[in-house]
Chain A
Amino acid sequence: MNSIAQYFSDLFKGLSSLWAGMRITGKYFFSPGAIVTQQYPENRKTLKMEERFKGEVIMPHDENNQHACTGCGICEMNCPNGSIEILTDRVANAEGKLERVIDKHIYHLSMCTFCELCIKTCPSDALAWGQEFEHAVFDRSKLTKVLNQPGSKLRKEAK
């Protein structure tokens, strides 16, 4: 007799536990609530990434097309993957002294692991994070970027 009671209590316990689970899914079925999915290509206009978002490394230029990179090579040295290459040049400045300027600051996005060491170690704060994240391209060579804009110059600090 006891075993029969056990049989039926097992049955009803089992059924009620199943019902508890069905209540949860049923609740969401009838009140879908907040769907967190982002409608990505449609919301491109309004989509705003976080201010610290690590999309890619960029070199900010001001309105006079000037940047802060002195070409010291510390970022190149600190990069663990060799994704930064700096080609420097020497030009004579107004006083006739040879001065080092960057020719090309090459950034291989395809090799970057977003460790932030180049930005962190840059002594003149010439690098920053860009919020661009749509990096899909058909050709891998397009991921090699030159960070300094053509014709840009080193920003001279007002002395």
Chain B
Amino acid sequence: MSEEIIKDVIVGEHEDYIINMGPQHPSTHGVLRLEVCLKGETVKYLVPHVGYIHRGIEKMCEANTYQQIIHLTDRMDYLSAHMNNEAVCMIVEDAMQVEVPERVKYIRTILDELNRIASHQLWWCAFGMDLGALTSFFYGLRDREHILDIFEESFGSRLLHSFVCPGGLMHDVHPNFQKRTKEFVKYFKTKLPEYDQLLTGNIIFQNRAIGIGHMSRETAIGFGVTGPSGRGSNFSCDVRKIAPYGAYDKVQFNEILEPGCDVFARYKVRMAEMWESLSIIEQLIDNIPEGDYTAKMKPIIKLPAGEYFRRVETARGELAVYVVSDGNKSPYRMKFRTPNFSNLFVMNEIASGYKIADLIAISGSLDLVIPDIDR
């Protein structure tokens, strides 16, 4: 943001047409407030205001044990709850030097990918709705229901499932898990082409998406835009490839990169990632090794004094956890580098100069989850 704009905002000497999008607005997907300055219908600049649901998760972590922290991380990016849980568990396992059973790694990876698909499905339907195609919303939710049913059967909850614990899993997965997951993969493979016919090929949709919200690779790296949004700008940032964890080193998959740099490129990355996730699940689901569902852990976890850092790929980008431990049972300082935090603040850079309707498309293509920004 340049100097004069800030002066403009602070001094209030502008003759601009300023509208406040949010905190309650149908397309901000949560309590995000965008102060948008318009010239006609064109966005001159925008200022995101966050903090409406700041809950102080990092402060709460300093008073909780590592087991208790896990259920807090669910509430950050609630659409990729499993990956958030896994990040904390892995940092504890790293620090304690616990070897996790193979079975746990496989199951965690499958759940990661199922969660990723569920998250992308919800993104797809919300993105369609942002652009005015209301039917996509219901098709996406209908198919997401199948994944949530699998989750409910195994974890007992549909969205915020604190199913992972340091050392392994809370329980073994339900006996039906393999069967139902395979059924889902088969079912969803017939539904994904419908998504393409309904939106991807649609001429109105393409006109709304192609060439909008240009984010160059340098911008993406500079602002730390990761995940599908970053990969839509040809920024190779998939932690699953850079530093494989879980069973990702045992499967064949491609990191989806699109050089388009626009809304449509980010859209295509996510659509391709759903296919990629299905293929990962297919490779793993039949080969889950037998064994324990958890490694042996002490009931009270005390991390050795030191600093630990761990990166995980969530559905929205790179989640990094940084822990400073002083040897106690709760962390001295815990920092979550959440993907949406960085992804949000690129908005001003990439939405200026486009129409107000494009602003909605751009914010939809970044796939923001507001609790993840505020924490």
0 or 1 for each of B204-235: is its CB under 8 Å from A? (1 = yes): 10100000000000000000000000000000
- Is there a chain A Cβ closer than 8 Å to B254's Cβ? no
Chain B residues closer than 8 Å to A25, beta-carbon distance: 135, 198
Which chain B residues (157-210) contact chain A, with CB distance < 8 Å?
Answer: 157, 160, 162, 165, 170-171, 174, 194, 197-199, 201-204, 206
Q: How far is the CB of B176 from chain A (nearest CB, A)?
A: 10
Query: Number of B interface residues, CB 8 Å?
Result: 32
- Is there a chain B Cβ closer than 8 Å to A24's Cβ? yes
0 or 1 for each of B66-85: is its CB under 8 Å from A? (1 = yes): 01101110000000000000
Residue of A nearest to B197 (CB): A20
- Using A24-B194, A50-B153 as known contacts, say yes or no to A115 and B204 having CB atoms under 8 A apart: no
Do A78 and B67 have beta carbons less than 8 Å apart?
A: yes
Chain A residues closer than 8 Å to B194, beta-carbon distance: 24
Chain B residues closer than 8 Å to A45, beta-carbon distance: none
Do A117 and B157 have beta carbons less than 8 Å apart?
A: no
Do B156 and A53 have beta carbons less than 8 Å apart?
A: yes
Q: Pick the contact of A120 from B155, B157, B170 — CB < 8 Å? A: B170
- Is there a chain A Cβ closer than 8 Å to B145's Cβ? yes
0 or 1 for each of A52-84: is its CB under 8 Å from B? (1 = yes): 111000000000000000000000001010000
Chain A residues closer than 8 Å to B204, beta-carbon distance: 18
Residue of B nearest to A23 (CB): B197
- Is there a chain A Cβ closer than 8 Å to B154's Cβ? yes
Please report the C-alpha to C-alpha distance between residue A52 and residue B203 in the assembled complex, in whole angstroms.
46
- Is there a chain B Cβ closer than 8 Å to A159's Cβ? no
Q: How far is the CB of B158 from chain A (nearest CB, A)?
A: 10
- Is there a chain B Cβ closer than 8 Å to A116's Cβ? yes
Residue of A nearest to B67 (CB): A117
Please report the C-alpha to C-alpha distance between residue A84 and residue B255 in the assembled complex, in whole angstroms.
46
Do A80 and B197 have beta carbons less than 8 Å apart?
A: no
Do A17 and B202 have beta carbons less than 8 Å apart?
A: yes
Query: Number of A interface residues, CB 8 Å?
Result: 25
Residue of B nearest to A117 (CB): B67
- Using A20-B202, A23-B197, A115-B162 as known contacts, say yes or no to A54 and B70 having CB atoms under 8 A apart: no
Which chain A residues (15-33) contact chain B, with CB distance < 8 Å?
Answer: 15, 17-18, 20-21, 23-25
Do B162 and A116 have beta carbons less than 8 Å apart?
A: yes
Q: How far is the CB of B246 from chain A (nearest CB, A)?
A: 22
Please report the C-alpha to C-alpha distance between residue A113 and residue B64 in the assembled complex, in whole angstroms.
14
Chain B residues closer than 8 Å to A23, beta-carbon distance: 197
- Is there a chain A Cβ closer than 8 Å to B299's Cβ? yes
- Is there a chain B Cβ closer than 8 Å to A140's Cβ? no
- Using A17-B203, A21-B202, A50-B153 as known contacts, say yes or no to A116 and B64 having CB atoms under 8 A apart: no
- Is there a chain A Cβ closer than 8 Å to B152's Cβ? yes
Please report the C-alpha to C-alpha distance between residue A117 and residue B206 in the assembled complex, in whole angstroms.
48
Q: A-B pairs with the 9 shortest C-beta distances?
A: A115-B71, A14-B203, A80-B68, A52-B156, A54-B156, A17-B203, A20-B197, A17-B201, A115-B162
Q: Other than the known A14-B203, A20-B202, A21-B198, what 8 A-B pairs have Cβ atoms closer than 8 Å?
A: A17-B203, A18-B202, A21-B201, A24-B197, A25-B198, A52-B154, A114-B162, A117-B71
Residues of A within 8 A of B (CB): 13-15, 17-18, 20-21, 23-25, 36, 50, 52-54, 78, 80, 113-117, 120-121, 129
A-B CB contact pairs (8 Å), 23 listed: A14-B203, A15-B203, A17-B202, A20-B197, A20-B201, A21-B197, A21-B198, A25-B198, A36-B145, A52-B171, A52-B174, A53-B152, A53-B157, A54-B157, A80-B71, A80-B72, A113-B71, A114-B157, A114-B160, A115-B68, A116-B156, A120-B165, A129-B156
